[in-house]
Structure 1
Amino acid sequence: MNYEFFIAKRIIKAKQYKSSVSATIIKIAIAAIAIGIVMMMVAIATGMGLQKTIQEKVAAFNGHIQISNFDNNDSEVSLTPLDSNQEFYPDFTQVSGIKHIQAVAIKAGIIRTEKTFEGVLAKGVGTDYNWEAFTDFLKEGRFPNVSDKRENREVLISAYLARRLELKLGDTFKSLFLKENTNEIPNERTFEIVGIYDSGFQKFDANVMLVDIRHIRRMNKWKAGEIGNFEVFLDSFDEIQLKDEEIYHVIPPNLDTQSVISKFPFIFEWISLFDVNIFLIIGIIIIVGGINMITALLVLILDRTPMIGILKSLGSSNWSIRKIFLYNAAYLIGIGLLWGNLIGIAFIWIQRSFGLLKFPNPEQYHTAIIPTHIEVWHILALNIGTLVLCVLMLLIPSYIITKITPVKAIKFQ
Structure 2
Amino acid sequence: MDASRFIAGRLRFGGRIAVVSIAVSFLIMIVSVSVSSGFRNEIRDGISDLTGDVQLMPVDMNYISEASPISIKQSFIPDIEAIPEVKDITPAVYRAGIVKKGESIHGVLFKGTPREKSESDTVRLGVSIPIRLSDMLGLKVGDKLLTYFVGEKVKVRNFNIIDVYEGVMDGTDNIVVLADIADLQRLDGWSSDEASVLELTLEPDAKTDAGMRAVTDKVGHIALEKTGEDDDTLIATSVISRYPQIFDWLNLIDFNVLFILVLMTIVAGFNMISGLLIMLFRNISTIGTLKSLGMTDKAIAKVFLRVASVIVFRGMLVGNGVALLLCGIQKWTHLIKLNPENYFVPFVPVHLNLPAVLTADALSWLVIMILLLIPCLFISKVDPAQTVRAQ
Residues 94 and 249 of structure 1: CA distance in aligned 2, closer, same or farther (over 3 Å): farther
1:177 aligns with 2:149: yes
Question: What does residue 252 of structure 2 align with?
Answer: 273
3-state SS of paired residue (2:56): strand
CA shift digits 1:76-109 (9 cap, x unpaired): 8775110111346599532012222111111111
1:144–1:195 contact (8 Å) kept in structure 2? no
Q: 2:21 aligns with which of 32, 38, 41?
A: 32
Q: Is 2:119 the counterpart of 1:145?
A: yes
Which string of whole-angstrom CA distances, capped at 9 and with x for unpartnered residues, describes residues 215-259 of structure 1? 332332323311100111111212211211222233344221000
Of the three residues 201, 205, 209, the one matched with 2:169 is 201
Structure 2: how far apart are the matches of 1:362 and 1:372?
A: 16
**1:249 and 2:221 correspond:** yes
Match of 1:367 in 2: 345
Residue 355 to residue 223, structure 1, CA distance change in 2 (3 Å): closer
Partner of 1:346: 325
Matches of 2:336 and 2:134, distance apart in 1: 27
**Is residue 94–residue 250 contact of structure 1 (8 Å, CA) maintained in 2?**
no
CA contact (8 A) 2:63 2:96 kept: no
How well do the aligned residues superpose, as a CA RMSD in angstroms? 2.3
CA deviations over 1:133-153 (Å, ceiling 9, x no partner): xxxxxxxxxx993368xx932
- 2:357 paired residue among 379, 385, 389: 379
Q: For 1:283 and 1:79, how far apart are their aligned partners in 2?
A: 55
Relative distance call for 1:292 and 1:191 in structure 2 (3 A) is same
1:2 aligns to what? 2
Q: How far apart in 1 are the matches of 2:64 and 2:247?
A: 19
3-state SS of the aligned residue for 2:372? Answer: helix
Instruction: Give the corresponding residue for 1:115.
Output: 103
Task: Give, in angstroms, the shift of residue 56 of structure 1.
Answer: 1.3
2:161 maps to a residue whose letter is I
User: Which TM-score applies when normalising by structure 2?
Assistant: 0.90
Matched, 1:105 2:93: yes
CA distance in 1 between counterparts of 2:62 and 2:146 reads 28
Task: Provide closer, same or farther for how the CA distance between residues 209 and 311 of structure 1 changes in structure 2, counting only shifts above 3 A.
Answer: same
Question: What is the deviation of 1:384?
Answer: 1.4
Return the alpha-carbon distance in structure 1 between the equivalents of residues 171 and 274 of structure 2. Answer: 51
After superposition, the Cα gap between the structure-2 partners of 1:74 and 1:108, relative to the gap in structure 1 and judged at 3 Å, is closer
Q: Name the counterpart of 2:230.
A: none
**How much does 1:169 deviate?**
1.5
Aligned to 2:191: 223
Moved beyond 6 Å, runs of 4+:
none
Where does structure 2 lack aligned partners over 5 or more consecutive residues? 228-232
Whole-Å separation in 2 of the counterparts to 1:78 and 1:387: 60
In 2, the alpha carbon distance for the partners of 1:204 and 1:80 equals: 26
Range 382-391 or range 212-221, more displaced: 212-221
1:144–1:194 Cα contact (<8 Å) kept: no
Deviation at 1:204, TM superposition (A): 6.0
Q: For residue 240 of structure 2, what is the aligned residue in structure 1?
A: 261
Contact kept? 1:108, 1:121, Cα under 8 Å: yes
Amino acid at match of 1:10: R
Match in the other structure for 1:161:
133
Give the drift of 1:6. Answer: 2.0
Q: In 1, Cα distance between the equivalents of 2:118 and 2:129? A: 10
Which shows bigger deviation, 79-88 or 116-125? Answer: 79-88
CA distance in 2, matches of 1:330, 1:145: 60
- How many equivalent residue pairs? 380
Instruction: Tell me the distance in 1 between the aligned counterparts of 2:248 and 2:34.
Output: 19
Structure 2: distance between partners of 1:242 and 1:412: 71
In structure 2, which of residues 72, 80, 94 is the aligned counterpart of residue 84 of structure 1? Answer: 72
Q: Partners in 2 of 1:52 and 1:381 — Cα distance?
A: 19
Of 190, 193, 202, the residue aligned with 1:234 is 202
CA distance in 2, matches of 1:291, 1:223: 69
Q: Structure 1-normalised TM-score?
A: 0.86
The answer as to whether partners of 1:121 and 1:207 remain within 8 angstroms in 2 is yes
Query: Of residues 25, 37, 46 in structure 1, which corresponds to 2:35?
Result: 46
The answer to whether residue 298 in structure 2 is matched with residue 319 in structure 1 is yes
Q: Return the alpha-carbon distance in structure 2 between the equivalents of residues 79 and 6 of structure 1.
A: 83
Which of 384, 391, 404 is residue 382 of structure 2 equivalent to? 404
Q: Are the aligned partners of 1:7 and 1:324 in contact in 2 as well (CA < 8 Å)?
A: yes
CA distance in 2, matches of 1:376, 1:157: 36
1:73 corresponds in structure 2 to: 61
Q: What is the deviation of 1:343?
A: 1.1
